[in-house]
Structure 1
Amino acid sequence: MSTTQPVPVLAAELAHAWADIQRHHPELPDLATPESLIGESSSACGSELSFERLLHEAVHGIAAARGVRDTSRAGRYHNRRFLAIAEELGLDHTDDPHPSSGFSLVTMNAETRRRYRPTAERLQRALKAHVVANATDTKRSFRGPAARHGSSGGGVRVKAVCECGRNVRVVPSVLAQAPIVCGACKKPFQIAEALTVAASA
């Protein structure tokens, strides 16, 4: 029987990669819960977890540390303040912003790729192992309706919001493991339906 624990292993690799970014950018705050990035999906920030996505999140982290408002429109539109910090971290963007997400689609430049290559490759191996470990033989096991209808992660993603209005789609079981904290307002994301019930109580 396998004793592999893919989430803790991947979380450790995310923490290692984050620490490497901190080595080059010491003002970057610590990553409170690496697990929160596993299974988090944000169309504004990019849905696929990768080292490049981690650098994107680091831009938000540095913006929060500096007290810079780097997004608007409930966190969807990444403004030029976001872009300026992204450039400090070695991320490039085309000249024109996206109509709805602004400068969110940043990519590593050649120097940044060289700087972080060993760390990025190590994280990529951990991500691949995580995907393989979570792949299920549907002929031999039953995972419920969420899996049959194509939901990733074995659960239905729901909307969670923070105090400043940003939102993410997350599997409730992931949120239950530890709070997911907004990089902008430092408040935890909460499931929208739960907030509605609390407000009406």
Structure 2
Amino acid sequence: MNTTAIIARTETGSQLVAALETVWRAIQARHPEVPDVVMITGSGKGMLGLTWGHFGHEFWANGRFRVNSDGVIERDRKHELFVSGETLGVGAVKTVQTLLHEATHAVAAVRGVKDTSRQHRYHNKRFLAIAEELGLEYRAERPDASLGFSSVEITDETRQSYADVVEQLDAAIVLTMELPEWARLLIGGGQGGTDGPGVHGGDGTRGRRPGSPGRKQGRWIKATCGCGRIVRAARTTFDAAPITCGGCGETFTVVDV
């Protein structure tokens, strides 16, 4: 897909969104199940972390109402795709990787697959399977106790297949948002190269903002699974390896201490 004529230098917000939309179309060209989205951007900074990107299922609706033959009001709905300005600041590779991560959620929504649990934080094996279809991989030895397989990364082969898109997007990114100092510490690096620390996958940084309210450092912590069962165990037990529920098959995620 030739995107040279579409991506321009992003000196305005509308041009920036257009550049991201072009990358999304390139993903759709390779994976037709990926749906259309309403592309938005802005700051990903929050009280407890930094969001790289977010997929919102049917967040938007056509403002015009229609009434069908049964007298029911109908509205066309659209998905939302958010990419933070801080992600753009890390570089084009990170941005494309984030778009592929969110495209994984989008495909799961189209297929009716439940790919996350516990307030959409824990990314399960169904998420990972679709992510691998889209050219991402999970490189850690085991899933994260809280986020599961969220931190998928772009493979070398996928990066090569999107080389032209990455190059053009990199040239187009002029406006960015600076990565806050606390987020640099959490991800282990700054904003230098796109191959360095801080380019790993996932919807957001792993950890909380220093100084923000967090969990007590007590001995026992509480966790729950997809079917609502609750277990309490020593912190070292959860750190050692994921605990799987025999009922629903999902990993217990920490919710309180």
TM-score by length of 1: 0.58
Q: Which residue of 2 aligns with 1:20?
A: 26
Q: Which residue of 2 aligns with 1:68?
A: 113
Q: Which residue of 2 aligns with 1:116?
A: 162
Name the structure where helix makes up a greater proportion of residues: 1
- How far the C-alpha of 1:44 sits from its partner, in A, is 7.0
Spell out the pairing of 1:4-83 with structure 2 (5 A cutoff).
5-32=11-38, 34-35=39-40, 37-40=41-44, 43=50, 48-49=87-88, 50-83=95-128
TM-score by length of 2: 0.46
Q: Give CA-to-partner distance per residue, 1:29-72, whole Å, 9 cap, x none.
A: 0122x12x433457576672411101101001101110111111
- How far the C-alpha of 1:6 sits from its partner, in A, is 2.1
Q: State whether residues 68 and 81 of structure 1, in contact with CA within 8 Å, keep that contact through their aligned partners in structure 2.
A: yes
Alignment pair present for 1:92 and 2:104: no
**What secondary structure does 1:61 align onto?**
helix
Amino acid of the structure 2 residue aligned with 1:38: G
Q: 1:116 to 1:66 in 2, by over 3 A?
A: same
User: Structure 1: which 5+ runs fail to align?
Assistant: 136-148, 151-166, 169-201
Which stretch shows the higher mean deviation, 93-102 or 56-65? Answer: 93-102
Q: State whether residues 44 and 77 of structure 1, in contact with CA within 8 Å, keep that contact through their aligned partners in structure 2.
A: no
Q: Which residue of 1 aligns with 2:172?
A: 126
Moved over 3 A (4+): 40-47
- How far the C-alpha of 1:120 sits from its partner, in A, is 1.6
Q: State whether residues 51 and 124 of structure 1, in contact with CA within 8 Å, keep that contact through their aligned partners in structure 2.
A: no
Aligned positions, number: 133
Q: Which residue of 1 aligns with 2:150?
A: 104
Which protein has the larger Cα radius of gyration, Structure 1 or Structure 2?
A: 2
- How far the C-alpha of 1:122 sits from its partner, in A, is 1.8
RCO higher in structure (CA 8 A, sep ≥6) = 1
Q: State whether residues 44 and 52 of structure 2, in contact with CA within 8 Å, keep that contact through their aligned partners in structure 1.
A: no
Q: RMSD of the alignment, in Å? A: 3.0
Q: Give CA-to-partner distance per residue, 1:55-95, whole Å, 9 cap, x none.
A: 10100110111011111110111111100000000101024
Q: State whether residues 115 and 124 of structure 2, in contact with CA within 8 Å, keep that contact through their aligned partners in structure 1.
A: yes
**What secondary structure does 2:130 align onto?**
helix
